[in-house]
């Protein structure tokens, strides 16, 4: 069973973390192999340094409520759907033609019953 935990830290702490092994690094006497950064992109810089894009942190704060992460994920999905204006059914399948605002699975069931 994998245990996920939130360890608030700054970007500079992540960049200066010592390498523990070939695929892990150490921070605050703990070893990690994956980090998720939650933030808001406020501005995109037009230049690229050393062939890589960069991100600058203007403000970092501690997440005190884990529900903030869930809320952030929902906001990202909602924004993505708004940008690309795609309609999805309950199974996240793209619907070609919405069936009177019913998910595609329900629309297929209603069509099959009415045709028979």
Q: Is residue 58 part of a domain?
A: yes
Per-10-residue mean pLDDT for the chain, 116 residues long?
A: 66 77 79 69 65 64 77 80 67 57 49 42
Asked if residue 114 belongs to a domain, the reply is: no
The per-residue pLDDT for 5 is 67
Q: Contact at 8 Å (CB) between 17 and 25?
A: yes
The pTM for the full model equals: 0.34
Q: Considering its fold, how many domains does the chain have in total?
A: 1
Q: Is 3 contained in some domain?
A: yes
Per-residue pLDDT at 33: 72
Q: In this structure, is residue 87 part of a structural domain?
A: no
In three-state form (DSSP H/G/I as H, E/B as E, the rest C), the secondary structure along 31-73 is EECCCCCCCCCCCCCCCCECCECCCCCCCCCCCCCCHHHHHHH
Q: Is residue 111 one of the residues assigned to a domain?
A: no
Bridge partner residues of 19 (DSSP): 25
Is the residue at 98 inside a domain? no
Q: Residue 110: what pLDDT?
A: 43
Domain ranges, residue 64: 1-68
Question: Residue 85 and residue 92: Cα distance in Å, rounded?
Answer: 14
């Amino acid at each position: 069973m994998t245990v996920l935990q939130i360890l608030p830290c700054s970007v500079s702490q992540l960049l200066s973390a010592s390498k523990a092994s070939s695929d892990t690094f150490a921070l605050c006497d703990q070893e990690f192999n994956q980090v998720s950064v939650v933030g808001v992109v406020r501005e995109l810089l037009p230049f690229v340094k050393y062939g890589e894009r960069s991100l600058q942190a203007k403000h970092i704060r501690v997440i005190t409520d884990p529900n903030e992460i869930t809320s952030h994920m929902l906001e990202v999905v909602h924004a993505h759907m708004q940008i690309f204006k795609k309609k999805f059914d309950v199974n996240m399948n793209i619907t070609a033609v919405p069936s009177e605002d019913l998910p595609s699975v329900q629309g297929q069931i209603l069509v099959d019953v009415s045709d028979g």
